[in-house]
Amino acid sequence: MIELCVVMGIVTVLMAMVVGLNRHVNEIVKIRRAQADLGEWHEVFNQWHLQFGEYPYGNPLNDNVLSASAPARNLRSILESCYVTVGSSNIYFKTFTQGYNSRTNDPWGSPYIYDCDPGGKSYLLFSCGPDSRSVLNGQGIPDLNDPAYVRDDVYFIR
């Protein structure tokens, strides 16, 4: 009977270790997936920049989507609203990205946040991380002085 109790105790400890390790591994996998998504979007933005000389930032179909009062926007709104006029036709960012299999939401279910300077020369793309919160400063970029929110963000600055 004592042997059975010892074996059950050992099995319980091992199972607890496996469950704990599994949670840790799942979080690492989500972070890596967010980094991979941001890398894919980086490639899309670079292709757009190579073709049109700027990153997507303006020409919204709906003025409420891209406003000066809210510089940081969810990536889906950029995908749905941005276009560039070439000659007599418009090329929409959504159409441009059709060959790519990129997600607009991060692994935690929140939308990726995209911000581009008004001249279309640089951008910031990030995920708010597991807590789905981030603090943005006045320029619409993560406030690196607020460790309570930013320490779990995954971002890419170009």
Q: What is the pLDDT along the chain (158 residues), one digit of tens a residue?
A: 899 999 999 999 999 888 888 888 888 899 889 888 988 888 888 888 898 888 887 544 443 333 333 455 678 878 877 878 888 888 888 888 887 767 888 888 888 888 777 777 788 888 877 876 665 555 555 555 665 555 666 766 66
pLDDT recorded at residue 89: 84
Using CA atoms, how far apart are residues 42 and 154, in angstroms rounded to an integer? 13
Question: What's the confidence (pLDDT) of residue 4?
Answer: 92
Q: Under a CB-based contact definition with an 8 Å cutoff, are residues 141 and 124 in contact?
A: yes
Residue 101: inside a domain: yes
In this structure, the number of other CB atoms found within 10 A of the CB of residue 59 comes to 14
23: in domain: no
Location of structure tokens 């929409």: 92
The answer to whether 68 and 48 are in contact (CB under 8 A) is no
Q: Is 149 exposed, middle or buried, given 0-12, 13-18 or 19+ CB atoms closer than 10 A? A: middle
Q: Domain total for the chain?
A: 1
Domain-embedded: residue 5: no
Q: Is residue 17 part of a domain?
A: no
Does residue 63 lie in a domain region?
A: yes
Residue 51 sits in which domain range? 32-157
Residue 126's CATH number: 3.30.700
Residue 18 lies in a domain: no
Is 83 a domain residue? yes
